[in-house]
Chains A and B, each alone.
Chain A
Amino acid sequence: MAEEPMSPAPLPEGTASDTTGSRGSRLLGVLALVGLAVLGVLAFVLTDPDVRIHPSTGAEFGQFDAVRMLYVHVPLAVMTYLAYGLCAVASLGVLIRRTPWWDVTAHAAAEVGTVFCGLVLVTGSIWGRPVWNTWWEWGDVRLMTTLVLFLMFAGYLALRRTTGDPRAVSRRAAVVALVAVLDLPLVNRSVEWWENRTLHQQSTLGDLKIEDLTLFTLMLGFLVLGMVLAWLLLHRFRVGWLERAALDHSVAAAIVERRGETPDDELRRAVGDPSPGESS
């Protein structure tokens, strides 16, 4: 490997190497964009609305076209679980291995997961207005445990922005993440454990209550939002890695510059090391 240059050398603009992208991430990004377009066509054009007929009265009921919101809402929720699960694993890595790789991974997963979790809350609220006739229900266990999850990881991200010893901040944040992630099973199982305290329906996929194109579209939603999650995690990780590298690089460059400006004797006196002439 060539010796690393000690002064920042800006790269020419517009070259392929001045971004956090790579061939793999660009391919993933293109696939995710195409997938989102296909998902939109399936969700809005090819799938049917949820309309059922009451067996005794003959009246129509169901979610009607509001069901089209679930093709993003449900995959967003599952990707939130994945991102926060990754954050928990990486936080364990921070506490056990104490390497920057785990720390940057945990931070990236927490940030992307919080974006997804926020979207779960917003899309769920928008879906709930026509279906439940309410934007929000404070006594609903599914809604409240999800809100608590979001707020705990918002606290995690706030903690990451505090100043102080970076290693101590990393360890504290890792502990917060491991506590926050304990809410994940509560969020997921709340509709079964406290079924009388939630408006939220139980798992549709568990008993396979949907089929055909509806099921396919939902599965495609998982795949596409999974690719979006992977792309965002990859780029957020690289940004975090570069933030560390930029800091290290600027410190190294400042030391080199300082060495160049300071005579050797003066530098030795500053660090308490007597010069060869003085010690003899």
Chain B
Amino acid sequence: MTYVGYLIAGWGITLGTLAIYALRLIRRGRDLSAQVPDAHRRWLEDQGSGDA
């Protein structure tokens, strides 16, 4: 296979950036979720744990 270094760099940067960004969103969401009541989180409806 040719250009292996370029391919690893391109795919690695893409997947790594998306993974880091996704984990950052999850962590930020966890921190904020602890600060507000369930009623402010409408997406909890399908888990049966929210009343909104």
Contacts and interface: CB of A to CB of B under 8 A. Distances in A.
Interface of A: 1-2, 4-5, 8-11, 15-25, 36, 40, 44, 49, 64-66, 68-69, 72-73, 76, 115, 118-119, 122-123, 126-127, 129-130, 228, 231-232, 235-236, 238-239, 241-243, 245-246, 249-250
Contact of A119 (B17, B41, B50, B51): B17
Q: How large is the interface on B (under 10, 10 to 19, 20 to 34, 35 or more residues)?
A: 35 or more
A22 B44 contact: yes
Interface in B1-34: 1-4, 6-7, 9-11, 13-15, 17-18, 21-22, 25-26, 28-30, 32-34
B37 A66 contact: no
Contacts of A228: 18
B43 A232 contact: no
B34 to A, nearest CB: 5
Given A5-B37, A65-B1, A232-B21, A246 B32 contact: yes
Contacts of B1: 49, 65
Nearest to A229: B18
Which 8 pairs of residues, A with B, have the shortest CB-CB distance?
A: A20-B29, A242-B32, A245-B40, A126-B10, A17-B49, A22-B43, A245-B36, A246-B35
A19 B33 contact: yes
A129 B3 CA distance: 10
